[in-house]
């Protein structure tokens, strides 16, 4: 593997994980504050509205951000044409929401739904500029700037949402925070890149359209798969139940979003550069999968263990119906990590056409499972989501196997096995605390979290020492040791020589 690519991926990963710690803390705090101010019904109607706008937002991007990163050579004309294609799609998407708002409101029977839908649809017009600038920075692998901009954006969106919520604006406080955040992000991107669109010309986007279209088809199907549960749960079970369901879903996906999805664009960029080198692709992919499982799985297991205490103590009794769905969906998120890793390798290898069929199958499965299991409430829906996730992983793995890469289950399981073993041992230790520790939610919650997160890295280190032939684990531990060494020496992000 080229040293430059490996060094850039490693450096980018360091920035992502470092900022992720801060982002996680902020998201937890803000989520707690807003959940204490707003109720499940307020969150439910907002989630129902944004389920539709999020799907159309992915249509606005039309796969151009990925196409601009994947393309070997790009120029300003390519960026300009991509921007205008996305902007024209934004106009069409806003018109679609305008015409559909009243009809959709009848499904949710909440008069606030239409206004929320139209307000959030205004964000479509900011997305093209953000997408182009994000692509510019991703091509430079300037992960630090992307995360700094994200942090600055939260400094505007968070106070806005909390202030509006305290003033009694209900779900509209969430919409206000989202819009202010996107406006701030647009401003920060301009200050960094100084990129502005020129006169509308779309001809320079033609060469990117085939790849962008296939990529967008996958993205839209994937986003629809992630949001259609909110659409259906809100319509079939109610917006209050949707609020509890989404709280459980968001918590179960939080480790993935912070530790895996943020890494995915970086992994895609690195794998794209070595897409014709099978040996180096195998090496980078399995090392990345091992690292991701070691960082994501412990938090999923911890959420499963402390779900009841956590929900009651942190969010309050109003959210207690989210406990069982949270525990169930933590299991599904473990499988979703494999799906996320498959997407990166699929996009880098140009398998987006085959991937589209996987997402379509997943979408059909999800709708079917929700319709069948919704009669048992949000707990039943959570079970249906798990079944869908497991089937999608099996299908996606077959797609990768049939490519020239040929990833088998043996190498995949080997990559994630250290994380699974370490989690099981740590969970066994935690069960002793449940037996002997007083039934005090707050105190027990802290004790379990400290013991689990404290014992887990020691167990991983022990596994690495015993299983010294596991090259992926050995490489990950080497990177961890390097990080701590740089922290001690005071130059964590020193550029590699």
pLDDT at 47 (0 to 100): 93
Q: Cβ(66)–Cβ(215) under 8 Å?
A: yes
pLDDT at 78 (0 to 100): 85
Dig out the tokens for 458 from the structure.
């020691």
Q: What φ, ψ does residue 439 adopt, rounded to 5°?
A: -80, 60
Q: What does the alpha-carbon distance between residue 463 and residue 457 come to, in Å, rounded to a whole number?
A: 10
Alpha helices (runs of H) in 311-440, residue ranges in sequence order: 323-348, 352-373, 377-402, 409-436
pLDDT at 495 (0 to 100): 46
Question: What's this model's pTM, rounded to 2 decimal places?
Answer: 0.79
Dig out the tokens for 312 from the structure.
């009651």
Listed in sequence order, the residues at least 6 apart from 444 whose beta carbon sits closer than 8 Å to its beta carbon are 309, 433, 434, 437, 438
The gap from C-alpha 93 to its chain's centroid, in whole angstroms, comes to 23
pLDDT at 311 (0 to 100): 92
Cα–Cα distance list, 418 to 7, 313, 421, 469 (Å): 24, 32, 5, 12
pLDDT at 483 (0 to 100): 60
pLDDT at 77 (0 to 100): 85
pLDDT at 28 (0 to 100): 81
Listed in sequence order, the residues at least 6 apart from 377 whose beta carbon sits closer than 8 Å to its beta carbon are 237, 241
pLDDT at 3 (0 to 100): 46
pLDDT at 80 (0 to 100): 87
**pLDDT profile of the chain (497 residues), mean per 10:** 51 61 80 91 93 92 83 82 92 94 85 92 94 87 82 93 95 95 95 87 79 82 83 91 93 85 65 69 83 92 90 90 95 91 78 78 91 94 94 88 75 92 90 69 79 90 92 84 60 47
Listed in sequence order, the residues at least 6 apart from 43 whose beta carbon sits closer than 8 Å to its beta carbon are 34, 35, 171, 174, 242, 243, 246, 247
Q: What does the alpha-carbon distance between residue 350 and residue 364 come to, in Å, rounded to a whole number?
A: 24
Listed in sequence order, the residues at least 6 apart from 440 whose beta carbon sits closer than 8 Å to its beta carbon are none
Helix (H, G, I), strand (E, B) or coil at 351: coil
Nearest by Cα to 69 from 1, 14, 132: 132
Q: Cβ(187)–Cβ(58) under 8 Å?
A: no
DSSP state of 263: T
Q: What does the alpha-carbon distance between residue 4 and residue 395 come to, in Å, rounded to a whole number?
A: 34
Dig out the tokens for 245 from the structure.
């369901």
């Amino acid at each position: 593997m080229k040293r430059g690519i490996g060094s850039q991926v490693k450096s980018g990963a360091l920035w992502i994980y470092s900022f992720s710690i801060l982002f996680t803390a902020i998201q937890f705090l803000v989520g707690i504050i807003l959940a204490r101010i707003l109720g499940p019904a307020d969150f439910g109607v907002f989630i129902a509205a944004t389920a539709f706008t999020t799907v159309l937002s992915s249509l606005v991007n039309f796969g151009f951000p990925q196409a601009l990163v994947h393309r070997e050579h790009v120029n300003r004309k390519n960026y300009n044409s991509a921007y205008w294609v996305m902007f024209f799609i934004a106009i069409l998407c806003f018109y679609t929401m305008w015409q559909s708002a009243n009809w959709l409101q009848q499904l949710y029977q909440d008069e606030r739904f239409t206004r929320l839908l139209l307000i959030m649809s205004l964000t479509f017009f900011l997305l093209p500029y953000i997408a182009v600038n994000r692509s510019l920075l991703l091509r430079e692998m300037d992960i630090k700037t992307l995360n700094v901009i994200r942090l600055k954006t939260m400094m505007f969106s968070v106070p806005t949402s909390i202030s509006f919520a305290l003033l009694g604006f209900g779900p509209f406080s969430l919409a206000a925070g989202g819009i202010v955040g996107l406006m701030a992000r647009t401003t920060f991107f301009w200050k960094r890149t100084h990129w502005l669109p020129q006169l509308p010309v779309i001809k320079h986007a033609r060469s990117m359209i085939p790849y962008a279209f296939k990529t967008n088809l996958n993205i839209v199907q994937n986003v629809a798969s992630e949001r259609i549960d909110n659409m259906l749960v809100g319509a079939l079970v109610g917006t209050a139940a949707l609020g509890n369901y989404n709280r459980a879903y968001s918590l179960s996906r939080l480790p993935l979003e912070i530790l895996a999805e943020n890494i995915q664009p970086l992994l895609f960029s690195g794998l794209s550069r070595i897409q014709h080198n099978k040996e180096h692709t195998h090496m980078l992919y399995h090392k990345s999968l091992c690292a991701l499982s070691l960082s994501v799985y412990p938090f999923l297991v911890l959420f499963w263990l402390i779900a009841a205490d956590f929900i009651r103590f942190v969010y309050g009794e109003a959210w207690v119906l989210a406990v069982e769905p949270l525990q169930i969906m933590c299991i599904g998120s473990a499988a979703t990590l494999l799906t996320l890793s498959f997407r990166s390798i699929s996009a880098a290898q140009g398998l987006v056409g085959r991937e589209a069929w996987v997402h379509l199958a997943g979408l059909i499965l999800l709708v079917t499972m929700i319709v069948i299991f919704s009669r048992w409430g949000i707990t039943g829906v959570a079970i249906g989501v798990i079944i869908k996730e497991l089937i999608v992983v099996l299908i996606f793995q077959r797609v990768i196997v049939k490519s020239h890469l040929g990833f088998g289950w043996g190498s995949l399981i080997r990559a994630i096995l250290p994380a699974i073993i370490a989690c099981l041992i740590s969970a066994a230790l935690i069960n002793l605390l449940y037996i002997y520790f007083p039934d005090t939610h707050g105190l027990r919650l802290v004790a379990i979290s400290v013991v689990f997160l404290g014992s887990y890295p020691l167990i991983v280190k022990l596994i690495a020492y015993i299983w010294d032939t596991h090259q992926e684990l050995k490489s990950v531990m080497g990177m961890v040791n390097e990080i701590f060494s740089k922290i001690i020496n005071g130059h964590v992000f020193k550029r590699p020589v």
